[in-house]
Homo-oligomer: A and B are copies of this chain.
Amino acid sequence: MADEVILLDFWPSMFGIRCRVALAEKGVVYEYKEEDLWNKGELLLQMNPVHKKIPVLIHNGKPVCESLVIVEYVDQTWSHKAPLLPSDPYERARARFWADFIDKKFYGQGWKVLTTKGEEQEAAKKEFIHSLKLLESELGNEPFFGGKKFGFLDISFIGFYCRFYSYEMCGNFSIEAECPKLIAWGKRCMEKESVSKSLPDPQKVHGYVLELKKAKGIE
């Protein structure tokens, strides 16, 4: 019997993007189900009763939740091609450390850049750029975070790359001027079909960000 694979997702989600790219890297055929986060579907509530959040991967009826957990599950389940996590314990620990760093820093710091003004925004930008530079130092002079090969840590951050345009527009700054190597990395990733077909258009994402701010009463 063929595998039944369903992804519950929401198109601008940087966490959903991780799962899309991982599945594309592995060549897994799956059904994409768009969720309305303002009116969550029965399937989402049933499959992720704890957090009630996308993304959820449903593999033969069994749910896997939390994007980094999903990426590893995909890597281990479809292990025949495109290994994502390093096999060496130290390299693996390093990739996990930085993926955790991304989760701890960029969502919150990025949101502040998008939604504040004046001094508060200047402080937010400073923190955000500091985190970007730390991450850029981990990239070093390699083409990908995984070294010569695109992998787990690249997947962990690529969803934020298509939000860069929005950070720049809302924050009135240039990420490329601060972190040119990170921008070069993003462009390199976009040359991969698994990435370019999984990422939404940055301008469309920006439109969504503006709508979201309006809905939340943020000028």
Closest to A95 in B: B69
In contact, A100 and B50 (Cβ under 8 angstroms) = no
The reply to whether B101 and A73 form a contact with Cβ atoms under 8 Å apart is: no
* A97 close to B66 (CB less than 8 A): yes
Is there a chain B Cβ closer than 8 Å to A197's Cβ?
no
Indicate whether A123 reaches chain B with its CB closer than 8 angstroms: no
| Count class of interface residues, chain A | 20 to 34
SS class, residues of chain A in contact with chain B: helix
B69 with A96: CB separation less than 8 A: yes
Partner of A73, one of B59, B64, B69, B89: B89
- Using a CB-CB cutoff of 8 Å, which residues 55-100 of chain A contact chain B? 59, 62, 64-66, 68-70, 72-73, 76-77, 89-90, 92-93, 96-97, 100
Give A residues with C-beta under 8 Å from B: 50, 59, 62, 64-66, 68-70, 72-73, 76-77, 89-90, 92-93, 96-97, 100-101, 134
Q: How far is the CA of A178 from the CA of B171 in the complex (A)?
A: 48
A115–B100 Cα gap in the complex (Å)? 27
Smallest beta-carbon distance A6→chain B, Å: 15
CB<8 Å pairs between A and B, sample of 13: A50-B101, A59-B90, A62-B90, A64-B90, A64-B93, A64-B97, A65-B97, A68-B96, A69-B93, A69-B96, A72-B93, A73-B92, A73-B93
Give Cα A143–Cα B195 distance, bound, in whole angstroms.
43
Complex Cα–Cα for A66 and B68 (A): 16
A160 CB → nearest B CB, Å: 17
Check if A96 sits within 8 Å of B50, measured CB to CB. no
- Chain B: which residue is nearest A64 at the CB level? B93
- In the complex the two chains form, is A89's CB within 8 Å of B76's CB? yes
Question: Whole-angstrom distance between the alpha carbons of A110 and B89 in the complex?
Answer: 32
With CB as the reference atom, state the residue of chain B lying closest to A135: B50
Set of chain B residues within 8 Å of A72, measured between Cβ atoms:
92-93, 96
